[in-house]
């Protein structure tokens, strides 16, 4: 499949494993320059190496930063000031009864699953608009609509992502 992404740069958050890694690998196959993100340099380096081994001509770099913090997101932005594609995949979950979800739990999951995307979109969207080309994708979940009773806090953050994505789409039409 040719998605016509040769020459484009994509930042994929939470891309050292799982869905994020699969997205990064797929975009690399399409000729996109990929920026892998993860919390540790070892995981970032390992993911980049695996993509290069599988796709010989892959253009892959990586940033080790905790994007669940404003400081980590700023580090990422400083290292990669401009992208064509932003895939907000970073996310965590934890089964926990509602009455046991602490304020710290709420803050942590909101900063990881939602605010990381806010911080990155706030920086990259104006640059995409100035270039008259760009894509921002949020990897959400059916939990945005069907809130799981054992992970209400997770479902709420997925709903927040959908609302943010929809609102940003409205600003660009």
Task: Give the pLDDT of the chain (173 residues) as one tens digit per residue.
Answer: 677 888 999 999 999 999 999 999 999 999 999 999 999 999 999 999 999 999 999 999 999 999 999 999 999 999 999 999 999 999 999 999 999 999 999 999 999 999 999 999 999 999 999 999 999 999 999 999 999 999 999 999 999 999 999 999 999 97
Cα distance between residue 23 and residue 59, in whole Å: 14
Which residue out of 154, 156, 158, 160 is catalytically annotated? 154
The predicted model scores a pTM of: 0.95
- Cβ-based neighbours of 22, under 8 Å, separated by 6 or more: none
Catalytic residue status for 154: yes
The answer to whether 121 and 90 are in contact (CB under 8 A) is no
Q: Give me the pLDDT at residue 2, please.
A: 72
The alpha carbon of 158 is separated from its chain's Cα centroid by a whole number of angstroms, namely 13
Give the phi and the psi of residue 106 in degrees, each rounded to 5. Answer: -60, -50
């Amino acid at each position: 499949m040719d998605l016509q992404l040769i020459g484009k740069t994509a930042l994929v958050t939470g891309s050292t494993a799982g869905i994020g890694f699969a997205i990064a690998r797929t975009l690399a196959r399409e000729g996109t320059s990929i920026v892998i993100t993860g919390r540790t340099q070892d995981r970032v380096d390992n993911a980049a190496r695996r993509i290069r081994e599988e796709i010989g001509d892959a253009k892959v770099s990586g940033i080790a930063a905790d994007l669940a913090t404003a400081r980590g997101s700023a580090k990422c932005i400083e290292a990669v000031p401009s992208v064509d594609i932003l895939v907000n995949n970073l996310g965590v979950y934890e089964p926990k009864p509602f009455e046991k979800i602490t304020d710290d739990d709420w803050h942590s999951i909101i900063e990881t699953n939602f605010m990381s995307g806010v911080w990155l979109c706030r920086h990259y969207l104006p640059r995409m608009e100035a270039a008259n080309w760009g894509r921002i994708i949020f990897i959400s979940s059916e939990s945005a609509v069907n809130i799981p009773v054992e992970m209400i806090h997770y479902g709420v953050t997925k709903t927040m992502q959908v609302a943010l994505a929809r609102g940003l789409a409205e600003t660009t039409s």
